[in-house]
Amino acid sequence: MSCRGPNPEFDDLSEVSQLVSSRLAAFLRTLRDAGFRVGLAEGQDAATLMAAGYAARPNLLRAAFRHLFSARKSDWDKFDGLFDAFWLGKRVRSRSRTIGSAAGANSPSLKTIQDARPQQGGGQSVTDQVPSSDEGPENSAGEGRMEGASHAEHLASIDFRKFSDPDQLAQAHDAAAQLARVMRTRLTRRYLARRRGERLDLRRTIHHNISHGGVPISLVKRRRKDRPLRLIVLLDASGSMSLYTSVFLRFIHGVLDEFHEAEAFLFHTRLAYVSDALKEKDVSRALDRLSIMAQGAGGGTRIGESLQTFNRWHAARVIHSRSCVMIVSDGYETGDAVLLGREMAALSRRCRRIVWLNPMMAWAGYSPEARGLKAALPHVDLYAPANTLQSLRALEPYLAKL
Amino acid sequence: MKGREEIAQALAASGYIADADLATAISLMQLLRRPLLLEGEAGVGKTEVAKALAKVHATELIRLQCYEGLDQSAALYEWNYQRQLLAIQAHRGTDSIEDQLFSEKYLLERPLLAAIRRPRAPVLLIDEIDRADDEFEAFLLELLSDFQVSIPELGTISAVTVPHVVLTSNGTRELSDALRRRCLYQYVDYPDADREARIILARIVGAGPSLSVQIARMVEGVRKEELRKVPGVAETLDWAAALVGLDVRDLHNVPETVHETLICLLKTQEDRARVTREVTLRLLGRVA
């Protein structure tokens, strides 16, 4: 580079007045609180910028800082508001912080609403297009049903927050984590088996055999790179699912912990990205953060709209060709079933496999009559019952085969 | 150091219609010596920024297109095996050849190595970094902080000049925080109607000012429809070229042609079905 800027040395800071540098430090703290990843190097560069005359005009400084401190679109979009609020004293709409205690807040957390237990007394035929219901081991399915029912009675009376009783939680979390581990090793083994299909790597072979005068004596082979499968879980947190939400939340927490690549979303009338909140190691803290994010949960479900949001804003980033999408929902769509069908089609074009786990299926005499479910099922690769950890374990062989 | 105003002028002179942010970003790149990460939807002109930057600095543009499975031999360097083999055959029986085989003579430069060995700092465009693997991203991060490369057979090669690095991403994969932090960031959005009209005017020979404004407004309207694939600037230019080629002077005179040529903008069957004749007329009605 023909022209070098001044080095961000400490000496330069002396040019910036003491006051300004302390204000700058405070601004960096504000940014960190707002979720920006700002390190020491950025702070030094900011000081360099101010010393280089960028502080002369607010607009210039704002633009320069925006380039420096933003790392993603969400940062980029909210930066101006933060900057104006801090440096120019303009009011900015109060931003709810997701971290921290929600103690005292009477906000409706997940599962305060009593279960709206669906009475699907309709068809007696359990032999629908369900691929797994008849294949699954008879015993464990029965066990799961029992477990589910007893759990349900129990849970209906306690608040979701109370559910983070450490013992119960740790136990369930262990089970989920163990399952996630088993699922992952299965997947990995499958990739190992595939490695046998080897091909000759001509370029490296020649390279290797230059010492033999180019005669290919030792061969170099090429094998498929084994990459872990990515699991994306979309959990229905609506009222009709409220009995099972916490069971699956703990399962998801285990999944995020144990899988190399996993993402989680929660949906009810809208979609929330919850991976970050759930990646918190401390389970009760994670659930705390989650219940703040999941405000409004427990009401109706707009699966179609939620999927639309997912396809539009998250799918490109989250899904790649080795992704498996797991939707946990009872399929009671309060929105537009046609939209749901369309979005499911779009989703199935993008990812490798779609699994739909339906807790209600474990209920005796249940058949998928929900309109939404009927629209979605043609695009689902595995449709199976799951309402407890036991029933999830029973699914393991099928999940491993995906 | 070039000032911000000079850069803005140079950008204008290079034929790139920049928004206000870009000049700031470029001057910061020089001041802080950080790479610039451009994110945005496909077709908003991210790659064009690098081309414009090369013109501003009057230097060469070296482009590395990323894809899944991109490795060092395609990005950094490769030995010229054919030549090496020939040399071995030709010098059979002599000892001297062994020392020469792994010398500069047999080294093939790939974009990254080329970029740090130019006497005049080039613009290095690393296009669609999100398509490359995580491992490559980590390697790139190392290169971007040290600007040196070690080749086992040759030793360490340090940068002669530090290139101006521009990275682009479409968001098909989430980039690592480390890479994001290393870079200056700019989100590139679709240009507003005014800027897009100026782009059409600058790029399409034969498009008059009033037609350019009409096209830009029309495209702005189309983008607001709920489409699967929102048309980018490149599509706008295609459409403008098509209209000019069909000798259209005013969109209002030829609504039928407008509707038929919308295939330049709408690239999926669903989108095409969504923008019916009525929608076209409604959008056209809003274009002043």
Residues B150 and B269 in one domain: no
Question: Is B72 part of a structural domain of the chain?
Answer: yes
Across the interface, of A5, A66, A72, the residue whose CB is closest to B180 is: A72
pLDDT confidence bin for A110, thresholds 50/70/90: very low
B168 touches chain A (CB under 8 A): no
pLDDT of residue A101: 35
Mean pLDDT for chain B overall: 87
Question: Is B17 part of a structural domain of the chain?
Answer: yes
pLDDT confidence bin for A108, thresholds 50/70/90: very low
Question: Is B95 part of a structural domain of the chain?
Answer: no
pLDDT of residue A369: 65
- B150-175 residue pLDDT tens: 888 888 889 889 999 999 998 766 78
Question: Is B88 part of a structural domain of the chain?
Answer: no
Residues B142 and B241 in one domain: no
Across the interface, of A63, A76, A210, the residue whose CB is closest to B84 is: A210
pLDDT of residue A130: 36
pLDDT of residue A358: 83
Least confident of A161-175, A256-270, B145-159: A161-175
Highest mean pLDDT among A195-204, A303-312, B168-177 belongs to: A303-312
Please report which helix (H) or strand (E) contains residue B22, including its range: helix B20-32
Strand partners, A161: none
- Our count of domains for chain B comes to 2
pLDDT confidence bin for A4, thresholds 50/70/90: very low
Residues B20 and B155 in one domain: yes
pLDDT of residue B197: 93
Residues B171 and B212 in one domain: no
Residues B281 and B152 in one domain: no
pLDDT of A228 above 60:
yes
Question: Is B87 part of a structural domain of the chain?
Answer: no
Per-position b or e across A46-81, b if 16+ CB within 10 A of its CB = bbbbbbbebbeeeebbbbbbbbbbbbbeebbebbee
Query: Which of B187, B208, B241 is at the close of a domain?
Result: B187
Of B186 and A268, the structure prediction assigns the larger pLDDT to B186
Q: Which domain holds residue B240?
A: 193-285
pLDDT mean over B124-133: 89
A320 CB neighbours in chain B (<8 A) are 172-173
Query: Which of B187, B211, B241 is at the close of a domain?
Result: B187
Token pair recorded at residue A46: 């900011």
pLDDT of residue B220: 92
Q: Which ranges in A72-165 belong to alpha helices (H)?
A: 73-83, 138-155
pLDDT confidence bin for B113, thresholds 50/70/90: very high
Query: Which of B158, B187, B216 is at the close of a domain?
Result: B187
pLDDT confidence bin for A222, thresholds 50/70/90: low
Residues B178 and B231 in one domain: no
- B45-92 residue pLDDT tens: 888 889 989 988 899 999 999 987 788 888 988 888 888 878 877 877
This model of the complex carries an ipTM of 0.79
Per-position b or e across A127-149, b if 16+ CB within 10 A of its CB = eeebebbeebeeeebeebbebbb
- B215-225 residue pLDDT tens: 999 999 999 88
CATH label of the domain that carries residue B138: 3.40.50.300
Per-position b or e across A345-363, b if 16+ CB within 10 A of its CB = ebbbebbbbbbbbbbbbbb
Cβ of A67 within 8 Å of Cβ of B21? The answer is: yes
pLDDT of residue B110: 92
pLDDT of A231 above 50:
yes
pLDDT mean over A31-41: 83
Residues B119 and B216 in one domain: no
Residues B120 and B36 in one domain: yes
Across the interface, of B25, B33, B88, the residue whose CB is closest to A213 is: B88
Question: Is B40 part of a structural domain of the chain?
Answer: yes
Question: Is B203 part of a structural domain of the chain?
Answer: yes
Mean pLDDT for chain A overall: 67
A33's CB contacts (< 8 A; 6+ apart) are A97
Residues B183 and B203 in one domain: no
Report the half-sphere exposure of A171 (CA within 13 A, side-chain side).
Answer: 6
A41 CB neighbours in chain B (<8 A) are 181
- A59-97 residue pLDDT tens: 888 889 999 998 888 788 888 888 888 888 765 444 433
**Which of B184, B54, B182, B162 shows the shortest CA–CA distance to B117?**
B162
Cβ of A210 within 8 Å of Cβ of B28? The answer is: no
Residues B157 and B228 in one domain: no
Find out whether A148 and A389 touch, Cβ atoms under 8 Å: no
Of B208 and B94, the structure prediction assigns the larger pLDDT to B208
pLDDT of residue A38: 84
Question: Is B102 part of a structural domain of the chain?
Answer: no
Of B145 and B243, the structure prediction assigns the larger pLDDT to B243
Residues B147 and B260 in one domain: no
B184 CB neighbours in chain A (<8 A) are 67-68
**Which of A288, A330, A268 shows the shortest CA–CA distance to A160?**
A288
Chosen for mutation from B181, B229, B268 (greatest number of chain A CBs closer than 10 Å) is B181
B250: distance to nearest CA of chain A, Å?
35
Cβ of A2 within 8 Å of Cβ of B121? The answer is: yes
Please report which helix (H) or strand (E) contains residue A230, including its range: strand A230-236
pLDDT of residue A95: 41
- A122-163 residue pLDDT tens: 333 333 333 333 333 333 333 333 333 333 333 333 333 444
Cβ of A64 within 8 Å of Cβ of B170? The answer is: no
Residues B159 and B202 in one domain: no
